[in-house]
Every structure is written in C-alpha cells, then in structure tokens.
Amino acid sequence: MHLVYPVVIAALLFAVGVYGVLARRNAILVLMSVELMLNAVNLNLVVFDMRWADRLHGGQILTLFVIVLAAAEVGIGLALILLIYRNRQTVDVDRLRTLAEGDPDPEAGSMTDDEGVRR
C-alpha cells in the first residue's frame, strides 16, 4: 500500500478535527473533534511506524500512549462540560465568554467586569 493513502486520510481527518474545533458550537462536538485530530495523529504514527519498522516499534507504542492520554482527556473534558452545563444550562461555546475581560471602562477604572454570561 502506498504511503500516500493513509497520510491523506490522516490529513483529512485532522482537517475535519480542526474544522470541528474551530466551527462547532456544541462543546461535546468540539471535544469529539479534538479526538478526531488525535486519531489522525495516531494514524500517522502507525503508518510511519510500519514504514520505518524499527525494532522497538516506537510509533505504535506512542500510539498506545496517545490513546490512553486521549481517554483521560476526554474524561476530564466531559466532566468540565457536565459542570458547565449544570452551572450555565448550556454547552454552547459561543456563549461561554467568561474568559474575556469586561468592556473597558476607563472612567470607572475597573478592569474586570465579569458579565460574560449576561444576555
């Protein structure tokens, strides 16, 4: 099998993941897109491990590590999303603007105006 097929597939998967992270609004879908990107990387690792075929199969071992890490990451991510949902009744990342500093208000001199969720 030519190397180009799996690499292109991995690239497409990664692109889909990037698109999902950048464009989806649902936090769960964003998390899934992250998983897609990780899996694209995994695919690359496996493909190039086969290609180089070194004795230790470092690529496959690293893939296993990445899968474990991805599982842990998804656990934490889902927990965060669950808590956000409980607190805010939404998982729409466009509405979660708490990271932003409040509107600049030079006269009052206050830097933070923690009103990101106010609609």
Partner 1 sequence: MIVVAAVAVVLPFAAALIGMLFGHTVSHLLSPLARRLRTPAPGASRRGALVLARRMPANGPALIAVLPVAASTVLTAVLAADQLRDPATHVGTLTRVPTGTASVALSLQVDGLVSVVALLVCCVALAVQIYSVAYMRDDPRYSSYAAFVSLFTAAMLLVVLSGDLLVLYVGWEVMGICSYFLIGHYWHDRATSRAAVKAFLVTRLGDVGFLFGIFVLGLAAHSFQIREIIGRVGIMSHTALLAGTLLLLCGVAGKSAQFPLHTWLPDAMAGPTPISALIHAATMVAAGVYVVARLYPAFWFAPASLAVLGVIAAISMLGAALAALAQDDLKRVLAYSTISQLAYMAAGLAVGARDGAVFHLLAHGAFKALLFLGAGCVIVAVGSNLMSAMGGLRLAMPVTFWSMTIGFAALAGIPPASGFFSKDTILSQAWKAAHDRGAPPAGGRISLEPLYARPDLQGRPAGFVAVKAKARDLMGAPVPDIPSWVAWLVLITGLLTVVITAAYCTRTWLVTFFGERRSAVRAREATPLMRWPVAALAIPALILGFFGLGSAELRPEWGMAVISLLCAAAGAGGVYLVWNNDPALDPVRLLGPLRPVLRAAFYLDTVYDVAIVRPVRALASLVVHADERVVDAGVEGSGRGARRLGGLLRVTENGNAQAYVSGLFAGVVLIVVAVVVLT
- CA separation for the pair 113, 79 (Å, rounded): 27
| Shortest spacing between CB 93 and partner 1, in angstroms | 6
Task: Considering the complex, state which of residue 75 and residue 116 has its C-beta at the smaller distance from partner 1.
Answer: 116
Task: Considering the complex, state which of residue 22 and residue 56 has its C-beta at the smaller distance from partner 1.
Answer: 22
| Shortest spacing between CB 97 and partner 1, in angstroms | 3
Task: Considering the complex, state which of residue 17 and residue 49 has its C-beta at the smaller distance from partner 1.
Answer: 17
| Shortest spacing between CB 110 and partner 1, in angstroms | 12
For binding to partner 1 (CB under 8 A), which residues are involved? 18, 21-23, 30, 93-94, 96-101, 104, 106, 116
Question: Which own/partner pairs from 88-97 qualify as long-range (CB within 8 Å, at least 24 positions apart)?
Answer: 88/117, 91/26, 91/27, 91/28, 92/25, 92/26, 92/27, 93/24, 93/25, 93/26, 93/27, 93/30, 94/25, 95/119, 96/27
| Cβ count within 10 A of residue 63 | 20
| Shortest spacing between CB 69 and partner 1, in angstroms | 19
Task: Considering the complex, state which of residue 10 and residue 49 has its C-beta at the smaller distance from partner 1.
Answer: 10
